[in-house]
Structure 1
């Protein structure tokens, strides 16, 4: 490897990176260029000549200059080095190799074209066996995989592969399926629940999962010292009784018809709590669950899952899943639709296949991009007329046309059908004058801070909003932060406005409640106390409602609480899409825009 670096230095400095260049030089000049001894230079030249990189004709006698011919350009050596790093599984080092200012853009393009052929379905020969591998690029590491703290959709998807829950929600049938519990029942008041667990379920480290693990998992999330943002899910539990290793009873303080929905959430995945205690924060990066795949690697370069042979519902068809971290994906635009949460384009093609042969999956996300207004901080955003003026100033259709990508249609709600109905009536509705509203609100050019979390689509959105507001005389200062920082209450409350996105769980009832109740929710941070209390009362009323259709309507209608006050500015709905090789079977996009690996096969 060091030899290649020496060659790149010589070729770049003495031949401008070109091949076929012959120069006259001396050993003294070469020692100065390579910063090493004459003896080492001779050894280096001999090795380069043996590899066919150079021709070396040493000068005869004192004062005679030698001839050095570069047979390979520096570009080719850079590519060889980068490819060698990749084959060792170190994409990060390969990207560093390509990051030098002397590396031409065309070389980077050649490397990425080569790299893309290593993604998709691969049959890897390993120790005299074939390993069916699905390999994908992603633009960032995935370090936070503790179910009790998962707030991003990509992490949520990986948690579903590594862990299991007591029950599973089947969205297509709108019912619950057995998971770790093979049977369950509740009393007539929906307060006392009984779960019967499967026997012989194993965690990935070999220990059997029992009812005690279920109890300790729920108690861990409920523990205020753990500070899980999902503590609200278990806050009404007053007692958990383990009758035996496969039987437990859970008693609630009040009726909750959505309790099964909570238990089906990946946030309440069952964990071996002794490992959580022993490993601390390390458990989030290297978690141990009981799901169809076990984690074998998770660093800044790769996340690797392997099928868990002892999985109680049958071994996955796929042997291995590799997610390679390639930060340059965003800068190069290789992955259309990569945003702050997920990879929308999954390159499942086999080598040599053309995209025209792939199958497409696409649907509209239930959820929306939005801007919150901080009603807990003094400023122009406290006046509803100012907030309404911004609602009128920002032309969502223009935003979608200007920015493109996966932005699909204007949003006036978290629910696309509601947005569509409102949008259809917008042209007939007489609109107020935003300039007049700003004047009535007393806006005098104060600068408002608009925060968002890092990710190309978020930053594009925020900058677009900033420019549109500037045209109307409204000063906006944009700041993009790591989402881990922005999820902290004190950080979110610094901003007058916050741009974010929400994608609701495929279990829609649960998804709505989760969105409104999770303590680290952005708009929950920014709502006033009065609006937050009104929202909580509405949720409590919905949870008591016995009729499912009525309950869902009540939950969907909760957004009117802050829409009436213009406390939330909806921007647009996005499309989720994927393209994949038709040889890949069992493909279906989940609500997170990913594919569940257990069910796919070639």
Structure 2
């Protein structure tokens, strides 16, 4: 309520005055603080006295000052006001309020404890109808839900609920299954793919999906995201024909065995032409798809999804899903994180949490829980893992153009110390994008501990000096979400005498020219069922800052990959690329991180999508 905010303004104006300590002041001075008239200030004081928030003793006469006693603690008032804002679905203002002032830590902690109890599954009865609702926090900001414009995993996850593609990948990444298309075929040259669409599939705004929408979606992706994720896969689309409303023929300029797999990603989501042409920015905030849920609104940081009754694969159990977006700062302070970034972007990192902290949740992504908590939770180990690594910009010149210096930098990154600094995370040493095919015992791994062998720092420093490294400061570029990783890597390198300057580049700009000024690039790849697509995307990106001989090697091998229909042969080619990049120390592996999704036993129907997120449509509660 507004009068509570007036009290907080007065209370914060005198932080040095404790509760029930007399403060001599005039009505005129107080009215100036609230920017109101003398008469309104008197009325406000009376109202605050009635609420027992303060005591006011007026004194009249020249030289006499009235006495004010604050009675209500500002932390309690902040908490009450923030709770009322949440009740009005204004999460953003509530978070701003609890972070206002230097002394807000107590109110902030109480607010987050209270807020955690607002998440989870609940039922609401309105008249004769019961609504089943899942509410969960997302420690990210939603910038866009347009499939061509997403960069973060929270956005990617919601896009998966709102849109569909022509085909889909099974959970193991081993088979491509029909989806919006019930069948498809390819010509002998494997450059023309023809898809036969299901009839009667509706968009959320009620119009039937047609072949013209498929054509529009792919051409729009080419036009709006020419350098987007997997752009190499759709850049080869030469023409699209729609002989009728349920048939689409896509002509490629050259054979591409990864094209069908690309169509399983949410980048290839089918969008309605009429809704998109109403405005790209508007579509990003209020998207229209064919998915199991439709977006019905987003106010003050809360995105509300409603079950789409006409969904072509059947309506889900949940009636509504509320996604409460919280800035990452707030999520960390509240102790609850549920998201990670898409593929080559970011994954949040959670340490252990006690079981009491989990009691309000039904589903938690990317967490570790204590042994006590594990007794009360089911856990699903996701099929994928994240791999963190550094690539070297060999085109910039300077120290990293020298192969001996690259080798010395590789030795200087003490992986054992790095893992020690990251001990709160679910991590392990990693030196490949294909860990399941790595040798049982690596030369760099101790048989006893399973961790990298500790290097001799004196020897590392001697090797650096011998390599020709003169102590120059190297620039390490990464995205803001990896800043903490970059700082840890800088700390590790500093022990060996390598100075790193960290440059943060927004994720949407990282593939551009901004990164070309850096010596080293810190990034990550999600090793899941889309691993081949992600690695081709990575190697295409690396070509832009690789030495000419590496560019030629990557170009030739990627061409062979895209021509190869056999999965085992493709795997061998990928390992061939990796081995060459490792041997010349152009690719420096750091670690792997295994991810888990935990869920309460009351949940049924758990299944995970490509990033390990739970599909809302599948779950139900007992």
* Aligned mates of 1:143, 1:26 — CA distance in 2: 48
- What is the match of residue 588 of structure 1? 607
Structure 1 position 454 matched with structure 2 position 483: no
Structure 1 position 332 matched with structure 2 position 333: yes
Deviation per residue, 1:409-432 (Å, 9 max, x gap): 111112333457463664599999
SS in 2 for 1:44: helix
* Aligned mates of 2:193, 2:110 — CA distance in 1: 59
Deviation per residue, 1:196-255 (Å, 9 max, x gap): 111111112222111111122222333488554533213333432212101222333444
Aligned partner of 1:499 among 522, 525, 544: 522
**Residues 92 and 419 (structure 1), Cα distance of their counterparts in 2 relative to 1, 3 Å cut:** farther
SS in 1 for 2:270: coil
**Residues 140 and 508 (structure 1), Cα distance of their counterparts in 2 relative to 1, 3 Å cut:** closer
Cα-Cα RMSD: 3.3
Q: CA deviation at 1:186?
A: 2.4
* Aligned mates of 2:254, 2:494 — CA distance in 1: 51
SS in 1 for 2:95: helix
TM-score (norm 2): 0.86
Query: What are the ranges of 5 or more consecutive residues in structure 2 without an aligned counterpart?
Result: 364-371, 448-452
| 1:57-206 equivalence runs, <5 A | 58=58, 68-125=68-125, 129-172=129-172, 174-206=174-206
- Deviates most, 404-413 or 492-501: 404-413
- What is the match of residue 394 of structure 1? 413
Structure 1 position 568 matched with structure 2 position 592: no
SS in 2 for 1:312: coil
- What is the match of residue 486 of structure 1? 510
Aligned partner of 1:552 among 551, 556, 571: 571
Q: CA deviation at 1:260?
A: 2.0
| 1:3-402 equivalence runs, <5 A | 3-13=3-13, 16=16, 18-21=18-21, 27-28=27-28, 30-31=30-31, 34-56=34-56, 58=58, 68-125=68-125, 129-172=129-172, 174-223=174-223, 228-298=228-298, 301-327=301-327, 328-329=329-330, 331-332=332-333, 334-335=335-336, 341-342=346-347, 349-350=359-360, 355=373, 357-363=376-382, 365-402=384-421
Deviation per residue, 1:311-369 (Å, 9 max, x gap): 11111211222222222335526136866635577998547999552323334743410
Deviation per residue, 1:100-137 (Å, 9 max, x gap): 33534222111110111111213245677433222222
- What is the match of residue 546 of structure 2? 527
Query: What are the ranges of 5 or more consecutive residues in structure 1 without an aligned counterpart?
Result: none
**Residues 275 and 516 (structure 1), Cα distance of their counterparts in 2 relative to 1, 3 Å cut:** farther
* Aligned mates of 1:223, 1:58 — CA distance in 2: 70
Q: CA deviation at 1:176?
A: 2.2
SS in 2 for 1:295: strand
TM-score (norm 1): 0.89
SS in 2 for 1:131: strand
Contact 2:390 / 2:520 at 8 angstroms: preserved in 1? yes
Structure 1 position 468 matched with structure 2 position 469: no
* Aligned mates of 1:162, 1:430 — CA distance in 2: 48
Aligned partner of 2:535 among 507, 512, 536: 512
Deviation per residue, 1:431-474 (Å, 9 max, x gap): 9954444334322121111111112xx22221122122222222
Q: CA deviation at 1:174?
A: 2.3
**Residues 41 and 300 (structure 1), Cα distance of their counterparts in 2 relative to 1, 3 Å cut:** closer
**Residues 227 and 251 (structure 1), Cα distance of their counterparts in 2 relative to 1, 3 Å cut:** same
Aligned residues: 595
**Residues 223 and 384 (structure 1), Cα distance of their counterparts in 2 relative to 1, 3 Å cut:** same
SS in 2 for 1:309: coil
Q: CA deviation at 1:81?
A: 1.2
Contact 1:364 / 1:573 at 8 angstroms: preserved in 2? no
- Deviates most, 498-507 or 336-345: 336-345
SS in 2 for 1:147: coil
- What is the match of residue 600 of structure 1? 619
**Residues 539 and 85 (structure 1), Cα distance of their counterparts in 2 relative to 1, 3 Å cut:** same
Contact 1:196 / 1:246 at 8 angstroms: preserved in 2? yes
SS in 1 for 2:551: helix
Q: CA deviation at 1:49?
A: 2.8
